[in-house]
Amino acid sequence: MIPQTHPPLSPAAPERLVHHSLVILDFGSQYSELIARRIRETQVYSQVLSHRTSAEQIRRLAPQGIILSGGPQSVYTPGAPQCDQGIWELGIPILGVCYGMQLMVQQLGGEVAAAERGEYGKASLWVDEAGELLAQVVDGTTMWMSHGDSVVCLPEGFQVLAHTDNTPAAAVAEPRRRFYGVQFHPEVVHSLGGMTLIRNFVYHICGCQPTWTTAAFVEESVRDIRAQVGDKRVLLALSGGVDSSTLAFLLYRAIGDQLTCMFIDQGFMRKQEPERLLKVFREQFHIPVQYVDAGERFLQAIEGVTDPEEKRKIIGREFIQVFELESQRLGPFDYLAQGTLYPDVIESADANVDPKTGERTAVKIKSHHNVGGLPKDLRFKLVEPLRNLFKDEVRQLGRAIGLPEEIVQRHPFPGPGLAIRILGEVTAEKLAILREADFIVRQEINRQGVYGQLWQAFAVLLPIRTVGVMGDQRTYAYPVVLRLVASEDGMTADWARVPYDLLECISTRIVNEVRGVNRVVYDITSKPPGTIEWE
């Protein structure tokens, strides 16, 4: 997973060096992050940078290779994103993917034009000349296409490595300068020979070594945290999720009692979760946690509120105020620890960096579904040891440092908690109903062994009542919606095809055991067009 003797580069600090790494220049592809993750699966560090990154900046980074991502535009369109022409003179291997290949061809003197027939979805790749890039890629294997333009004339020195039925130049190369291009997307799961191609580029063409490992990252992070923090105190807002929990374990290993974990219970947690979190940290691992019971305050704050965005804003504001009061009571603190991950870094363009020290100062806590945000006059220096990791890497790290599997595998949970899984007004009665229903959902998917197969699984309480019959008596009670989805990253999701017996068991138990519910329905909407959460 994770290497090196120098901290990985962040987009906010392009001058920091990384060895045995690849740089991905992003031209707006929906798959740029996925390319980075696939590279890391080879245990080589990768980072996504803007296509505007200069050749000189890249030279200072000294990467082993460069990948040009795909993108939604046509390279011949006025204003289409370009890269610094100087990258072709760096002497570094370059792989262009889809738009990246077309840009390579155009900038080096070839020609790209609209194809007579676009190519979208699966296509068979026919290998003409494997070379180093396509070594061991099976002739006729399936690759994923998504393009309306094609290369019509190659630059001098280039040769065709492979074609499809609709694309004469589906893979090209200029071996002398180690320039390669593919019209398909090897990074997506539908490209069956994609990882073979990626390994060829990473190991054989770029000469990278698989040094991005969990053990190396832990050792490096502990050293970096101690060097950054010194003897100062660090505050961490603990949520119980895998990110903040892994961060707490890592920080405690590095600085011990200099860390203060604060858990603000806003009253919208699932049944038994606050108690279980405190037990794991305090009793099992002896990491002190300051527990703040603010449930009554939060419930009063959203009394009568039905608009979901207004709920989020109020809960966020209350969180800020409680956090400010408690941090002043427990402080003073010099550092705030945040579970910022690499996707947050890629997407964030507003990092505040001190030009003299290079340190980032906090003006907000990382947004968890619109919860968070510190007042501008409450300032800390940030400690963000996870900011170069993807979610799956955080899970690997959590396991490596001894985090319990129930936390490592915990499904994503929104910051506002059950408050946005109760549609309409939130009351103590509705919270009690939803907690019990949600608890049954979790019990049964765990008992039947499907928890790990799902991205999220939860119950939603609707603000209506329906007619039912129980014991020959007419009932008028709430319906509960089951939402069980499968996904790789949460960006898209599909409703889970779980066994009918599981759905029947959950439905029967909820109706029999949860007073106030007489109907259970199953949400079979994918994302898109729906979202995973209902509010």
Instruction: Specify the DSSP class assigned to residue 7.
Output: P
Buried residues in 262-288 as b, exposed as e (16+ CB within 10 A): bbbbbbbbbbebbebbbebbeeeeebe
Could you confirm whether 98 is annotated as catalytic?
Answer: yes
Given 187, 384, 393, 436, which residue is catalytic? 187
Long-range contacts of 199-202 (CB under 8 A, 24+ apart): 199/42, 200/132, 200/133, 200/134, 200/135, 200/136, 200/137, 201/65, 201/67, 201/93, 201/95, 201/133, 202/22, 202/39, 202/42, 202/44, 202/65
Pair of tokens at residue 54: 């200069």
Contacts with 357 (C-beta within 8 Å, 6 or more apart), sequence order: none
Of these residues, 20, 147, 163, 185, which one is catalytic? 185
Task: Please answer whether residues 26 and 49 qualify as being in contact, where contact means their C-beta atoms are separated by less than 8 angstroms.
Answer: yes
Catalytic entry in 83, 98, 206, 208 = 98
Structure tokens at 217: 């990252």
**Angle at 197 (CA atoms; ends 49, 396), nearest 5 degrees:** 65
Angle at 122 between CA 120 and CA 126, to 5 degrees: 110
**328: enclosing H helix or E strand:** helix 308-330
- Cβ atoms of 412 and 364 within 8 Å: the answer is no
Helix ranges, 24-98 (H): 32-41, 55-61
Distance of alpha carbon 372 from alpha carbon 84, whole angstroms? 38
Here the tokens at position 427 are 């009351």
Q: Does the annotation mark 208 as catalytic?
A: no
Distance in angstroms (rounded) separating the CA atoms of residues 177 and 89: 9
Annotation marks residue 190 as catalytic: no
User: What 3-state class would DSSP assign to 410?
Assistant: coil
Active site residues: 98, 185, 187
